[in-house]
Structure 1
């Protein structure tokens, strides 16, 4: 990345899609499934898709967005240089 500032993708998401709200919601749903059922298999069944969802949005999505913005900025620089 040349002189471009690092862009924070979380600045473009609403409050209900911020890291803290994703963590609170996911952990609350997992804890709620345990509190309601007291069954390990039920909690695991609930936790698996929620952990995948949290992992995607907290780890993978920000990297993909920054990578896409970097590639877009490079393409614009190349077009301006021509």
Structure 2
């Protein structure tokens, strides 16, 4: 377990919350800028939201639960 109890302290820079959010925003924006079709961008955005929920909400909550936090 990390000294400060955060799983993010154990992760490299490219796996931090800010990089996950920026990458998702970049991919979603690029999808719209490249294709300019909502029916392409909507599934991309949905996949990004699932990815964010998984890695920014579910995984940290599970980590805290397993490591006696909160």
Normalising by the smaller structure, the TM-score range is 0.7 to 0.9
Equivalence map 1:58-73=2 (5 Å): 58-70=56-68
Computed over aligned residues only, the root mean square deviation of the Cα atoms, in angstroms, reads 1.7
- Equivalent-residue separation in structure 2 for 1:55 and 1:45 (angstroms): 15
In our comparison, the structure showing a higher alpha carbon Rg is 1
Matched, 1:54 2:52: yes
How many corresponding residue pairs?
67
Counterpart of 1:12?
A: 10
- If each structure's helix is expressed as a fraction of its own residues, which one has the higher value? 1
* Cα displacement (A) at 1:48: 1.1
- Equivalent-residue separation in structure 2 for 1:51 and 1:27 (angstroms): 10
SS of the aligned residue for 2:5 comes to coil
- Equivalent-residue separation in structure 2 for 1:51 and 1:20 (angstroms): 15
TM-score by length of 1: 0.75
Counterpart of 1:42?
A: 40
Higher relative contact order (CA 8 A, sep 6+): 1
- Equivalent-residue separation in structure 2 for 1:63 and 1:55 (angstroms): 11
* Cα displacement (A) at 1:27: 0.6
